[in-house]
Amino acid sequence: MDFGLSEDQLLLEETVRGFLADQVPITRVRELRDEEYPNDRALWQDLAELGVAGILVPEEHGGSALTLLDAALVSQSLGHAVTPAPFLASAVMAPVALRTLGGEETGAWLGAIAGGEAVFGVALTETFSIREGAGVALDGGVLRGKAMMALDALGADHILVAIGDDRLAMIRGDASGLQTNRLTTIDATRCTSELALDGVEPEAVFDGAADAISRMLDAGRIALAADSLGACESMIEQAVAYAQERKQFDRVIGSFQAVKHMCSEMIAELEPARSLLWYAAHSFDALPDEAPLMACHALAHTAEIGREIASVSTQVHGGIGWTDEQNLHFWFKRIGVARHLLGGPEFLRERAAELQGLALAS
């Protein structure tokens, strides 16, 4: 019985965090937010050399074949540093799909993921939420329609697109007939876009892909929860540090019980949520039957505590926390957007009820 992280996992986390602190400080994040493509390719190449891009890719395709818990720790570190990187789509969701689909043709893509030379986006939103009349159909061998809030698709080399809820297509990022329009959100560190497809010829179409889509969503939700948890962790660290240095009424504000209790309430939510996340990530590989439920709960729960932590940690800073210069908003916005990707909390909880046969008709 050992419910915790291994030495290797702690080392992985330390390595990634050390790299990010060194190479992508918040000053660099500020520069990247003004770029057309926030997912900086040179940075992604460096992360690939650390083994981040191929973390879930099988060894025969050049990856390190680690578990989703390892990937979650990397995701958490990226959230902690608010790093713009296509980790969620390219290093988690796409390789999980390709691994699940299997077959000869997926091998080359997995190899390209691990090497970091190709970046993959994913467009799955319409499998759980259709707005603005979106949806992609296969019609005479070509794809038509619209996909909303595609992840990491802008500037990607390949994009996995859902057709309905049981087929997947792989398309080239530069395919003719494809328009990728950035959808600007509050969070400049995560790249979301709309795909407009007008007669796009797919590289491959995978029928009977419901299982692959479901595994992608589970893995994506767990990784996204980890990202938010890392961002929450950083916001609490910043709030506690600020409370120890900022003086008012001749005392550091962290000596006031009102401020102390704000900090205690945040950490009291964060630490148990870390345990939930570890279990959810562990279940993905070791207890796959439990993974769909755990993924829903992990992301929904993190979204709920995340909203509170993002708000309260900003309040600890007072007015300065609300300025652009203080940088805190990068974390606030990262958490705010993650809440609504891959299903918001209310949707995820209803899904959790369905999975347990509890969603009775009213």
Task: Please work out, in degrees rounded to the nearest 5, the angle formed at the alpha carbon of residue 239 by the alpha carbons of 249 and 76.
Answer: 175
Residue 330's nearest CA partner among 112, 31, 65 is 31
Is 260 a binder of another protein (CB under 8 A)? yes
Question: Residue 267 and residue 358: Cα distance in Å, rounded?
Answer: 32
- Work out which of 273, 295, 328, 337 binds another protein, going by CB under 8 A: 273
Is 247 a binder of another protein (CB under 8 A)? no
- Work out which of 10, 102, 251, 322 binds another protein, going by CB under 8 A: 251
Question: Residue 214 and residue 58: Cα distance in Å, rounded?
Answer: 20
Residue 120's nearest CA partner among 70, 148, 85, 69 is 85
- Work out which of 248, 255, 315, 323 binds another protein, going by CB under 8 A: 255
- Give least dist CB 360 to another protein, A: 4
The residue (of 35 and 346) whose beta carbon lies closer to another protein is 346
Question: Residue 208 and residue 219: Cα distance in Å, rounded?
Answer: 19
Bridge-partner residues for 197, per DSSP? 145, 178
- Give least dist CB 251 to another protein, A: 7
**Dihedral in degrees, nearest 10, Cα atoms 329, 334, 338, 339:** -10
Give the x/- contact pattern for another protein in 44-83, rule: CB under 8 A.
-------------------------x--------------
Cα dist from 66 to 11, 46, 79, 92, whole Å: 14, 19, 20, 11
Residues 182-241 that bind another protein (CB under 8 A): 240
The residue (of 1 and 42) whose beta carbon lies closer to another protein is 1
Residues that bind another protein (CB under 8 A): 1-6, 69, 240, 243-244, 251-252, 254-257, 259-261, 263-265, 267-269, 271-276, 278-279, 282, 286, 294, 297, 300-301, 304, 346, 349-350, 352-353, 358-362
